[in-house]
Chains A and B, each alone.
Chain A
Amino acid sequence: MITFEAVTKRYRDGTVAVDGLDLEVPAGQTMVLVGPSGCGKTTSLRMINRLVEPTEGTILLDGTDIRTRNPAQLRRGIGYVIQQTGLFPHRTIEDNIATVPVLTGWTRKKARDRARELLTLVGLDQGLARRYPHQLSGGQQQRVGVARALAADPPVLLMDEPFSAVDPIVRAALQDQLISLQAELRKTIVLVTHDIEEAIKVGDLVALFRPHGTLAQLAPTETLLAEPADDYVAGFVGFDRGIRRLSFVRTTGLNLGTGPVLPADATVTKALAAGEPWILVTDPQSGTPRGWADAAKLAALPGDTPLGQAATEPLSHAFTVGTDSLRAALDAAVLSPAGLATGVDSDGRVLGVATFDQLRAAIQAGETARGNAARADAAQVREVPRP
């Protein structure tokens, strides 16, 4: 656990980078520090491993004032990942990853074995072990940076804009990897970013900074979207926060209708009898969706024509009931020619379709439940006792 107690950083020219910051990062959680440039988020991060010393206030790591620790010793127990990777150009990938284990006295052999394990952990081929950093792509280098930070298995990981220098596709892959690594390792992570999307995606808790180093809001990610503390937070989070919040609402309880769903071997007559403007045609064997048939066009066909022979329009995408969020379901409805979201099970079999009205009902139900949960969470954050 990392605790900031009234921490201020004032530079000699009078600039205040961080102003009376109180912050608690619970063990095993990911805290994202987010805000505009110059808001003190990076300074705050770098005070944790004493790259920057606070002017006033105290930072505690698991209850111990970090000023009582030898800086080099302290840092060996805190992983550090930065945007520019900071890999050592003159060392091979395995020796880069082995840096902290070697500093703490492991034998080179043992440290290199550990480095190879970590290459696998971050999704890289062990064949890269003997390469030099400049021989790797930006995304690969960033993965090596994460592996290097994890090498000595530190309980705390500091990440300063770790994914900002790579293209969006690589960034998304790196974020997904961080989320799955964190699910496995449960480190205490502090991650700095200026990208609110990234904050919402990877964070358990978000600390949103105002310019000049004060906190605008500290809250669990969902609460930040549901209940922004003020106009500054709402503005920073963005006008589509309502839709983004739906990412947190599961589709488990959604009511699905099966009226417009028919297998491809059903006849046009049967489809028209359903009285629906669009018919979702499914595969008779697997139950997977084939596409939407327009009832107006079906009416022009002979009544005994199987639906499989009628023209259909693609449904864009379906959502998996239970695992996908309401955001995915809403997107499926928006993109569907029928305006209906197709829900499937984990095998891709159609379970039914949802109308906008049904989605709205689920959103409102989710909102009530979420609101209660979020208020409880927010109360908890405020009531964390001081050690």
Chain B
Amino acid sequence: MWSWIPGNASLIWHLTWENLKLGVLSALYGLVLSLPLGIIAARLRWFYPPVLTVFTILYAVPSLALFIALIPAFGLTDTTVIIALTVFSLCVILPNVVAGLRAVPAAVTQAATAMGYGPLRRLVTVELPLAVPVIMAGLRVGVVSSISLASVGQLIGVSSLGYLFIDGLQRSFPTEIYVGLVLVIVLALVCDLILVAVRRALTPWLART
């Protein structure tokens, strides 16, 4: 029964690629949206609680329900899945951006100001670099959960490794399910390892642990 794998290699490869694309793009969009929101939230006290509440409610919505809610606007497309997954990853990345920026020691930002940094330059060259470890921790969770959730997109017909679960179930063919499961986990682990390497490259000042 393992002969099914070489026989369907091109299908498996295609589904893996689609799943990877959906998961990684969503997490990256989530990061890109989290940065400005998090920067504003770290500055304005009143801004963060309502934003966090909205995203917490959105995070509580089941992924399938969110897909269905988006279908009237975006149809049975990649866009629908990516929008939903972006919202979910934003929910886990945004709190880390805020926490990372707030954790920059006051003495450091004060010293930067006192040495003649303007607000933007200070943000880009001092505060964001110092927030990188915490932001990256959020991004890792965001990527792993998006890759995993992307398989649900198959329920609305968007290609992903979820196809192997549904097809395997309908044909009572466990091999296919196992292959899908292993590939989702491997994809998530590989992306996570890459992010750990990126984080290390970005933070040479941190002691290796």
Chain A residues with CB under 8 Å of chain B are 49, 51, 72-76, 78, 80, 82, 84-91, 99-100, 103-104, 132, 134, 148, 158
| Complex alpha-carbon distance, A49 and B111, angstroms | 11
Which of B113, B126, B129, B130 contacts A75, CB < 8 Å? B113
Which of A72, A78, A132 contacts B117, CB < 8 Å? A72
| Interface residues contributed by chain B, number (CB under 8 Å) | 18
Closest B-chain residue to A46, C-beta based? B114
Task: Tell me the smallest distance from the CB of A78 to a CB of chain B, in Å.
Answer: 8
Known: A86-B108, A90-B129. A80 touches B115 (CB 8 A): yes
**In terms of DSSP, what is the predominant structure of the interface of chain B?**
helix
Annotate B184-209 by CB proximity to A: 1 below 8 A, 0 otherwise: 00000000000000000001010100
| Complex alpha-carbon distance, A89 and B117, angstroms | 16
Closest B-chain residue to A151, C-beta based? B115
| Complex alpha-carbon distance, A63 and B202, angstroms | 46
Closest B-chain residue to A135, C-beta based? B207
| Complex alpha-carbon distance, A200 and B125, angstroms | 39
| Complex alpha-carbon distance, A134 and B112, angstroms | 18
Q: Report yes or no: A76 in contact with B105, Cβ–Cβ below 8 A.
A: no
Q: Report yes or no: B126 in contact with A84, Cβ–Cβ below 8 A.
A: no
Interchain pairs with CB closer than 8 A, number: 63
Task: Tell me the smallest distance from the CB of A270 to a CB of chain B, in Å.
Answer: 67
Chain B residues with CB under 8 Å of chain A are 105, 107-108, 110-118, 126, 129-130, 203, 205, 207
| A82 proximity list for chain B (CB < 8 A) | 107, 110-111, 114
Q: Report yes or no: A103 in contact with B111, Cβ–Cβ below 8 A.
A: no
| Complex alpha-carbon distance, A290 and B105, angstroms | 56
Which of B110, B117, B126, B203 contacts A51, CB < 8 Å? B110
| Complex alpha-carbon distance, A51 and B107, angstroms | 13
| Complex alpha-carbon distance, A75 and B126, angstroms | 17
Q: Report yes or no: A73 in contact with B116, Cβ–Cβ below 8 A.
A: yes
| B110 proximity list for chain A (CB < 8 A) | 51, 82, 86
